[in-house]
């Protein structure tokens, strides 16, 4: 029984012709006497044969090479476009304040002009309402400080 345990441990190695000479002789001697280990070996052999019967796949010669060329060229292009951005780094850092200032000034101008627009109407409304329009009131309406 102890021998069976030892042999079972060696069976895969023996089957794959990886066992040393001593181990191989030991297994073969045991197999002559032990029908259980013989059955185990035959089952393992059939499992091995079953797997090795698997069909082999084959790709056309340059199939994968072409796919890889495309993929590598694509990743290279992506890298180049990224490196262009990195190269632009210093210049863009210097140029960033210009559009930011322009945008900020534009927003300020729009806000102020829209407020003036609103206040102009307010001034017109004030005049049309028939109330007294002093210079102080008019200026206040234009600047938006007058209610």
Partner 1 sequence: MNEDSLYIEQFLVGEEEGFEMLVRKYQDRVLNIVYSLIGQDREAEDIAQEAFLKVYHNLASFKQRSQFSTWLYRIVVNVTYDFLRKRKNFINDEAMLKSIPATYDGPKDSLLIKEREALIRKVIGKVPFKYRAAVVLKDIEGLSYIEISKILRCSIGTVESRIYRARQFLKEELFKVRGELI
Region binding partner 1 by CB under 8 A among candidate stretches 50-58, 98-106, 117-125, 135-143:
50-58
Give the shortest CB-63-to-partner 1 separation in angstroms: 8
CB of 39 to partner 1, least distance (A): 11
Is 5 a binding residue for partner 1 by CB under 8 A? The answer is no
| Segment contacting partner 1 by CB under 8 A, of 26-34, 39-47, 85-93, 129-137 | 39-47
Which of 6, 25, 29, 65 lies at the binding interface for partner 1 (CB under 8 A)?
65
- The C-alpha angle with vertex 84 and arms to 79 and 87, in degrees rounded to 5, equals 120
The answer to whether residue 80 forms part of the interface with partner 1 (CB under 8 A) is: no
Residue 20 to residue 34: CA distance in whole angstroms? 21
Closest among 4, 66, 73, 2 to 40, alpha carbons compared: 4
Scanning 46-54, 98-106, 112-120, 133-141 for contacts with partner 1 by CB under 8 A, the matching segment is 46-54
Query: Which DSSP string corresponds to 41-106?
Result: HHHHHHHHHHHHTSPPP---TTHHHHHHHHHHHHHHHHHHHHHHHHHTHHHHHHHTHHHHHHHHHH
User: Residue 11, Cβ neighbours under 10 Å: how many?
Assistant: 19
Question: Which CB sits closer to partner 1, 64 or 104?
Answer: 64
- Is residue 93 within 8 A of residue 112, CB to CB? The reply is no
Enumerate binding residues for partner 1 (CB under 8 A): 9, 11-13, 16, 18, 43-44, 46-48, 50-59, 61-65, 67-69, 71-72
């Amino acid at each position: 029984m102890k021998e069976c345990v030892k042999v079972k441990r060696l069976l895969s190695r023996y089957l794959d012709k990886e066992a040393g000479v001593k181990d191989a002789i030991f297994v073969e001697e045991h197999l002559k006497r032990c029908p259980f280990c013989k059955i185990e070996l035959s089952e393992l052999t059939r499992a091995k044969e079953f797997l090795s019967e698997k069909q082999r796949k084959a790709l056309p010669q340059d199939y994968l090479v072409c796919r890889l060329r495309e993929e590598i060229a694509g990743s290279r292009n992506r890298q180049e476009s990224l490196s262009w951005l990195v190269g632009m780094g210093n210049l863009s850092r210097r140029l960033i304040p210009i559009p930011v200032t322009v945008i900020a000034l534009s927003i300020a101008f729009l806000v102020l002009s829209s407020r003036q627009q609103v206040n102009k109407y307010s001034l017109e409304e004030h005049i049309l309402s028939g109330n007294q329009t002093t210079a102080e009131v008019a200026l206040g309406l234009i600047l938006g400080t007058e209610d």
